[in-house]
Structure formats: structure tokens, C-alpha cells
């Protein structure tokens, strides 16, 4: 159980520092010895949401591998924590159901960011609506169909050109 301490008028957990959060999340992912594709997607989103530099994720991973210390990173406010958790949660729910690995990562982030059941339920509802709108938007479906038609047309043109060259080449 982590001590809570007031910081700048908000209450966050003592571990709510960017590099600490990233490191502890990677450690949770590596508990089973495997970094799944889903976990990789989540960690990429987490690094982005935490605004880590391009070098920091590799440095953290190396420090975990060698069991060495790492800097704690910047303090994360409660509002930032909610935003970070929301972004990672949205990536996790894109494929409709959470894997055990994704669930473990989200549970860890909820703990680190002190997100209770009520807050999580609100974030989940908002996120599912956003994802639903993105994929049920008729404009998105129309764009996908147009792209597919364009692709079929391009492939058809390619085959026509190949046939012409083969025919032309064979008659000469």
C-alpha cells in the first residue's frame, strides 16, 4: 500500500512519477516472462502518454534487465494520471475484449494512479463510446469502401499493364 501525499493541491500516489510508472508497468508485463503484442501496444501508448523521450523506454528496459536504478521522472498530477490511463485503456479496448495481460497492466495503472472503481467505470463508458463512434461512423465505412475500391482498381490496372507487356513482349 502506497502512502498518499498532497502535491500542488491534488492527491496522487507517491509512485506517480513518469519513469517510475513506466518501469513498474514494464515489470508487471514481464512477470510471465513474455511481452505479448497487446502489451507492446500498451507500452508504446504509455510511453507516448507519459511524454517519454525516444531514448527513455530503452534505458528503462535495460535498467530492468541489469537490475539497476533509474531516475523517477516528472511528477504526474491526478488530471494527467486520468488522461494517461484513459489513453492506455482506449488502446486496450480497441479489440473488444481484454486479454489477461492487458487486464493486469490496467489494474496496475489503476493502482499506481489511484483510480477507484467509480472513476474507472466513468473512463470505461467514455472510452467505449468514443471507440464505438470511431468504428460505427458511416463516413469511416464509406472512406474504407472507397479506399478498397481504389485499391482494387490499382491492382486491376497493374495486372492489365502486366498482361499488355507480356502480350507485347511475346509478339515481338
3-state secondary structure the chain: CCCEEEECCEEEECCCEHHHHHHHHHHHHHHHCCCCHHHHHHHHHHHHHCCCCCCHHHHHHHHHHHCCCCCCCCECCHHHHHHHHHHHHHHHHCCCCCCHHHHHHHHHHHHHCCCCHHHHHHHHHHHHHHHHHHHHCHHHHHHHHHHHHHHHHHHHHHHHHHHHHHHHHHHC
* 172 residues of the chain, pLDDT tens digit each: 333 333 333 334 445 899 999 999 999 999 988 888 889 999 999 999 999 999 999 999 999 999 999 999 999 999 999 999 999 998 888 766 678 888 899 999 999 999 998 998 899 888 877 767 766 655 655 555 555 455 554 555 555 555 555 555 554 4
pLDDT for 45: 94
Q: Is the dihedral of CA 126, 12, 48, 110 positive or negative?
A: negative
How far apart are alpha carbons 75 and 13 in whole angstroms? 10
pLDDT for 3: 34
How far apart are alpha carbons 170 and 102 in whole angstroms? 57
pTM, full prediction: 0.68
Q: Are 21 and 15 in contact (CB under 8 A)?
A: yes
Q: Are 87 and 45 in contact (CB under 8 A)?
A: yes
pLDDT for 84: 95
If you search the block for the grid coordinates 492506455, which residue do you land on? 88
Q: Are 65 and 26 in contact (CB under 8 A)?
A: no
pLDDT for 7: 33
How far apart are alpha carbons 39 and 32 in whole angstroms? 12
pLDDT for 100: 86
Amino acid at each position: 500500500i502506497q502512502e498518499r501525499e498532497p502535491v500542488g493541491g491534488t492527491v496522487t500516489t507517491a509512485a506517480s512519477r513518469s519513469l517510475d510508472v513506466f518501469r513498474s508497468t514494464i515489470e508487471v508485463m514481464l512477470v510471465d516472462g513474455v511481452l505479448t503484442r497487446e502489451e507492446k501496444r500498451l507500452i508504446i501508448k504509455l510511453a507516448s502518454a507519459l511524454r517519454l523521450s525516444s531514448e527513455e523506454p530503452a534505458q528503462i528496459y535495460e535498467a530492468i534487465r541489469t537490475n539497476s536504478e533509474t531516475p523517477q521522472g516528472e511528477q504526474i498530477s491526478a488530471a494527467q494520471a486520468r488522461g494517461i490511463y484513459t489513453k492506455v485503456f482506449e488502446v486496450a479496448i480497441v479489440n473488444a475484449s481484454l486479454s489477461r495481460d492487458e487486464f493486469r497492466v490496467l489494474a496496475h495503472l489503476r493502482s499506481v494512479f489511484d483510480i477507484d472503481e467509480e472513476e474507472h467505470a466513468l473512463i470505461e463508458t467514455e472510452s467505449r463510446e468514443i471507440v464505438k463512434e470511431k468504428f460505427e461512423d458511416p463516413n469511416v465505412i464509406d472512406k474504407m469502401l472507397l479506399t478498397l475500391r481504389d485499391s482494387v482498381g490499382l491492382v486491376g490496372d497493374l495486372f492489365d499493364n502486366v498482361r499488355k507487356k507480356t502480350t507485347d513482349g511475346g509478339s515481338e
